[in-house]
Structure 1
Amino acid sequence: MSGSRSGAGEFRAPRFTDSVALIAGREITVRLRSKAFLISTGVLMLAVLASVVLGSMFGGQSEPAKVAVVGSAAEAVAGNEQLEAVPVDDEAAGEALLRDGEVEAVILPEASDPAGVTVVALDQQPTGVVQALSLRPAVELLEPAAVDPMLAYFIAFGFGIVFFMSAITFGTTIAQSVVEEKQTRIIEILLSTVSARELLTGKVIGNSVLAFGQILAIAGLAILGLVLTGQRLLLGALGASVVWFVVFFAIGFIMIAALYAATAAMVSRAEDIGSVTSPVMMLVMIPYFLVVFFFDDPAVLAIMSYVPFSAPVGMPVRIFLGQVEWWEPLVSLLILVATTVVALAIGDRIYRNSLLRTGSRVKLAEALRG
């Protein structure tokens, strides 16, 4: 890394921001050229798309069927959320809309029919319309759920798998990069031109940008999937939780990335990465399993939403389920920010004190003491 020429013709060392930007840019370029990264991103997007499709199948969020209604037949459709009434003057007008494909059926008043109406279709029996018109007994729930349990499961699973896969993928990438630089002794050359803090900051920022971009792409894909599958009602309910997930993830990933880099700096062989990064990996895996198995437990979700490592998953799920007060996401975010600052300070100290030490694994106490 070369310095810049000053006005007097002398070279000066690059600024902290210049070094960080260069390192971050290198991290981004290398990852974008990696087939493993591109494949893992594709798999993650397919998982999210599958979650959206399954939510459409089990969540019952499809748009109401349009039906033409004549005269008093409108009373049979009034208040039915599964049907959208299109008033017409007579049967002929309704049949014209039916042949044009603008409605699925025509509903006519029929005094002789027990249901009070007759359904006219084009070439196939409109099963959905008939089921929507069928008489159903009133149902009273003692403890009604605000969200369909199956839909809640898929939403919780979606947030959990996205956080888990992104954190593991990029965290492992950072760890492998740190050990590779130590193992090949490239780190000694790098530290002759940049400081350990600049190197760590560049790695964290570069991979955080990639992770954040991946999350935005996944969010965009999920929104597109919801629109195409006719789940606009779900999209409106999911909007706030997706925004909060992106915010929590952006901060939470910085914390995780710093810990991955710091713990990886304690070893000099690729074979030892798993042993030192396993505690961090567990902190990422636990929220995933908790939200999958306890998505319907308000007490567990409430605890998760305030624990920094699980807040990026727990809080958005609670927001979607309508279990939070307006101030709770802000308090949880402040706790996460404070924890991230502490994690960055500890990670920076471990990273700087372990980076040039080769051979056997550096003990945590020694890395902290320096």
Structure 2
Amino acid sequence: MIRWTIAVFEFKRFLKWKQELMSIGFMLLTFAVMSAWPHIKGFIDKDYRVAIVTAAQLPEVEGFVFSKLDAAALEGAKAELGERWDLLVNSSGGSLAITGTQSASWHEKLTSQLQRWYQQQQISALPLTGEQRQVIDTLPEVNFSFTKEQTGDEQERKVRKVVSMVFLGLLIMGYFASFGLMFTAITGEKQQRVTEQLLTLVSAREWIDGKVIGISLFSLKTILTYGVMALLLIQGAAMISGKGGLSLPLGVLDMLGMLLFLGLGLLMLNTFLAGFAATIDDPNHSGRSMVMLLPGVLMGLVFAVMDNIEGQLMQVLSWLPLTSFAAMPMRIAAGEVAWWELLGSLGLLAAFVVWLANASARVFELGIRMYGKEPGWGDIASAVFNRRG
């Protein structure tokens, strides 16, 4: 009961309801604006008027209206720049001569489109046979064949890859949020000398368990909040590009498995942070603070191999408890994972979290009672492996 009291205190300590409501309101407003952006853009933006000296078919570029112009009328049209025309393009003479009133950001987009259009006109003017023109205009056909059944089409695989990247990014964000909260909470309490009073009310194990659970819940809340925000932004981006809404190609069991690994991963990370933070006496001068960044290196290793999620290295990382909390959810998001792999990896991770909780509690009790100096590495190793000296 005391553990949950501390956990609720730690959770409420960092939870600001007004800030949360403002974040949710901003998130909903952003999604609404992104959903309506194609209509807003079409209403506000004007189509730029471009006159081209050409005998060929006019190009088609969204946001631009093209008109043919005689070469003799080009000089006279320059007087109408800025009023009737936004740009004048002379495509005679083997190059593109573009005249405008002043430089603008939309020139770059139009220039690349005009270059491709003019290149096609030049190719069409070459004395080529019909077969030669077809070879130039047509990319070689590529046909994939697979010996195993695929989990989905190309669009689904792209969405799954995006989900994997977003998950790992949110996990890293949650870790660094936990790092800051746990580090300042424990080292601050040690510097303020409130540990003696707290240890007369609760045991060191109840204290660390409450902190780990409370801050893990807060980190999970942060990850879920930003996860929903990322999903809405992706949906909004899809709507802006005209692709319509995107649906997550993940089932309920997939989402549940990812959440289980996420929850256990946060517990493991915060357990390590809480135990080691207690061994730091002065955070401003201690060189041990860098050790607390080691889990970030492990997540960086998973990030380094995410371009080959089906590879053997990712499979190994998805079984190791130190990396499985990040690697296995990425495999789940990328495709199907056998049930025995999921349960086996989850069991190893849960067992490691239990062992780490006991070891971290001993290190926490060792460090939280010390003032003026930090425990040696030998003392920490003895506490981790429960060796009585």
TM-score normalised by the chain length of structure 2 = 0.58
Corresponding pairs, count: 263
- Partners of 1:303 and 1:202 in 2: how far apart? 32
Is 1:332 equivalent to 2:345 in the alignment?
yes
1:175–1:260 CA contact under 8 A, matched in 2: yes
The CA deviation string for residues 130-151 of structure 1, in whole angstroms up to 9 with x for no partner, is: xxxxx99863125698656765
Quote the offset at 1:312 in angstroms.
Answer: 2.1
Aligned to 1:281: 293
Residue 168 to residue 285, structure 1, CA distance change in 2 (3 Å): farther
Aligned to 1:191: 199
1:255–1:343 CA contact under 8 A, matched in 2: yes
Residue 162 to residue 288, structure 1, CA distance change in 2 (3 Å): farther
Quote the offset at 1:201 in angstroms.
Answer: 1.2
- Partners of 1:312 and 1:23 in 2: how far apart? 25
| Paired amino acid for 2:315 | A
Identity of aligned residues (%): 23
2:174–2:220 CA contact under 8 A, matched in 1: no
Aligned to 1:169: 177
Q: Which moved more, 1:351-360 or 1:319-328?
A: 319-328
Quote the offset at 1:217 in angstroms.
Answer: 2.4
- Partners of 1:349 and 1:271 in 2: how far apart? 24
Which structure 2 residues correspond to residues 215-254 of structure 1 after superposition, within 5 A?
A: 215-225=223-233, 229=238, 234-237=247-250, 240-254=253-267
The CA deviation string for residues 199-257 of structure 1, in whole angstroms up to 9 with x for no partner, is: 11111111111122223323433454555546766413376544322211111111111
Which structure 2 residues correspond to residues 293-308 of structure 1 after superposition, within 5 A?
A: 293-297=305-309, 298-308=311-321
Quote the offset at 1:175 in angstroms.
Answer: 2.0
Quote the offset at 1:23 in angstroms.
Answer: 1.9
Q: Secondary structure at the match of 1:237?
A: coil
- Partners of 2:172 and 2:251 in 1: how far apart? 20
Quote the offset at 1:344 in angstroms.
Answer: 0.2
1:172–1:260 CA contact under 8 A, matched in 2: no
Is 1:139 equivalent to 2:151 in the alignment?
no
Q: Secondary structure at the match of 1:267?
A: coil
Aligned to 1:322: 335
Q: Which moved more, 1:356-365 or 1:141-150?
A: 141-150
2:326 to 291, 303, 313: 313
1:154 to 133, 154, 162: 162
Structure 2: state its 5+ residue gaps.
Answer: 35-137
Q: Secondary structure at the match of 2:372?
A: coil
Q: Secondary structure at the match of 2:300?
A: helix
Which structure 2 residues correspond to residues 1-370 of structure 1 after superposition, within 5 A?
A: 17=1, 19-33=2-16, 139-141=142-144, 151=159, 153-225=161-233, 229=238, 234-237=247-250, 240-272=253-285, 275-297=287-309, 298-367=311-380, 368=383, 369=387
Structure 1: state its 5+ residue gaps.
Answer: 1-16, 54-134
- Partners of 1:225 and 1:214 in 2: how far apart? 16
Residue 242 to residue 289, structure 1, CA distance change in 2 (3 Å): farther
2:271–2:360 CA contact under 8 A, matched in 1: yes
| Paired amino acid for 1:21 | W
TM-score normalised by the chain length of structure 1 = 0.61
Query: Cα RMSD (Å) of the superposition?
Result: 3.6
Q: Which moved more, 1:230-239 or 1:152-161?
A: 230-239
The CA deviation string for residues 84-108 of structure 1, in whole angstroms up to 9 with x for no partner, is: xxxxxxxxxxxxxxxxxxxxxxxxx
